[in-house]
Amino acid sequence: MLLELVQRARKVLLTPARFLPTGERRAEAPGPPSELLGGWCRRCRRGGPGAGMLLPPLLPLLLLLPPVLAEGHRAATLRLGLRDSPRAEVSPAFLSLTLDASLARDPRYVTLLSNSKLRALATALSPGFLRFGGTETDFLIFDPNKDSTSEEKILWEFQAQQEACGSRPAFATVEKVLLAQWPSQEKLILAEQNRKKHKNTTITKNTLDILYSFANCSGFHLIFGLNALLRKGGLQWDSSNAQALLDYCASQRYNISWELGNEPNSFRKKSGIHIDGFQLGQDFIHLRQLLNNYALYQHAKLYGPDVGQPRKHTQRLLRSFLKSGGKVIDSVTWHHYYVNGQSATRGDFLSPEVLDSFATAIYEVLEIVGQTVPDKKVWLGETSSAYGGGAPRLSNTYVAGFMWLDKLGLSARQGIDVVMRQVFFGAGTYHLVDANFEPLPDYWLSLLYKKLVGTKVLQVSLAGANKRKLRVYLHCTSSLNPKYREGDVTLFALNLYNVTQHLELPDYLSSKHVDQYLLLPHGKENILSRSIELNGRVLRMLDDETLPELMEKPLGPGRLLGLPAFSYGFYVIKNAKAIACI
């Protein structure tokens, strides 16, 4: 009630002075309740001099105050850079995906990628890159002569008989058996990761076929990570297996980009082999020369070195690599996780200090790149909330969205060109889609981001709240969204306060209409829920191939933007006429 009264008062006090004929009843004029204006209104009611004129002595003071909310809270005032040039501009494929190579630890499970529901969910997030990589990359051996698993053969026979990207209902029985066995396979994968004990796995032609088909049919460009731990006596990279794989992919006309190795900073820990940055740079030059031998891959992109967190040893390796082989890569890739999945807590996911640590890591990487190969774009080649497969009962719930949405906002603001989310589907709990092919909260968050957030990053700040706990980001609205037009902007915000926060648009935007897309957890688990609501409506697929419409909630002009405790959401400001977005 108090909030409504104050908003009504401000609305009147911010309009030009009004005059009413002497003696006309005050109630007929729109204005603040008399209890808000105290004794000043008594003169108006008596019809004396100045009756009807809104000129209270405290008007200047009232205009300077932000809106007063219930319990003494004040709205935070937004400052938007709508007349400025973009702060940054990112790739149209900014939000991209990964599949972990551990999915091929037993190649039978790669056939799960043929599931029509999984493909529909992937397609909705396209276009983008799909990186097939991870620790297991450096333990995969391609054998063009080996028989595929029976599951891969069955699937590929169905594919040969039907439309290339059609559904495979006849494979459902095999898929059901694989899904029943997946939990034990997942335990094996995670145990190997935790022990850092890895075994070589052989993949075949059909493994590559199924992987490429999934990416291609879902609208993604495949990036394949080659094994960097195959070494000759002098520690030079042995490219013979990569050549066999390239021969096959070229024969099938597979349009693929390439990487070599995963997190070389931990090669010794994983395999006992130490490769320094200089040698790795030479290995990338060798791979570039190898690619140049194929007409199809002469212009194929090469990304690397996919180093881990930028700790001191890793920084030295990255610097050395870029000096040695940086000239042959198209973008510099590195990985980031906030916390250890085995020890992470709910508090970590809501901690401004933990979220801020990412900005420091970005700065350290960009500084090294700027000093060595300043013309190269920088990508987050693999990233999620917690390493080691994610944090159980956290990374797959609503609370994980704070890390994910803030990472997307900070990455774009700081100049990261592409962010590859680990992982779309696979082992652990940091996946976007679970083992039952059900989309998790971070999936829906990613989908909204794709639909609403454009590539141009704008300036935004706020006054009246702690910016580390009320975090705001601003972009041009996606030009691909038919609901919106040039000049519209998308604000997204995260509230780490334990009370509702309100955001007030600048006066010059007070007449604009705003579409709200507020995401809240669904169910009694609250922020640990695996289900999510958009503007009060639970998000779930309508059937195995149909996603729901993402419905906005229109807000009238002059409304404060309310963000409940521990929540996040998007606000499209229509007809904002941002110069950078036109």
Residue 513, Ramachandran bin (φ over 0: left; ψ between -120 and 50: alpha; else beta): beta
Decide if 525 is catalytic: no
- The token pair at 63 is 């205009």
Residue 272, Ramachandran bin (φ over 0: left; ψ between -120 and 50: alpha; else beta): left
| Catalytic one of 382, 504, 533, 552 | 382
- The token pair at 79 is 């400052």
Task: Give dist(CA 578, CA 582) in Å, integer.
Answer: 7
- The token pair at 412 is 């774009």
Q: Are 110 and 210 in contact (CB under 8 A)?
A: yes
| β-sheet bridge partners, residue 471 | 494
| β-sheet bridge partners, residue 286 | none
User: Hey, how many other C-beta atoms are within 10 angstroms of the C-beta on 34?
Assistant: 15
Q: What percentage of the chain's residues is helix, strand, coil (to nearest 5)?
A: 40, 25, 40
β-pairing verdict for 532-534 and 128-133: unpaired
Decide if 382 is catalytic: yes
- The token pair at 198 is 């890895």
Examine residue 365 and say whether the peptide bond preceding it is cis (omega within 30 degrees of 0): no
| Catalytic one of 263, 364, 504, 552 | 263
Task: Give dist(CA 154, CA 170) in Å, integer.
Answer: 10
Taking Cα atoms as reference points, which of 118, 104, 197 lies closest to residue 148? 104
Catalytic residue positions? Answer: 263, 382
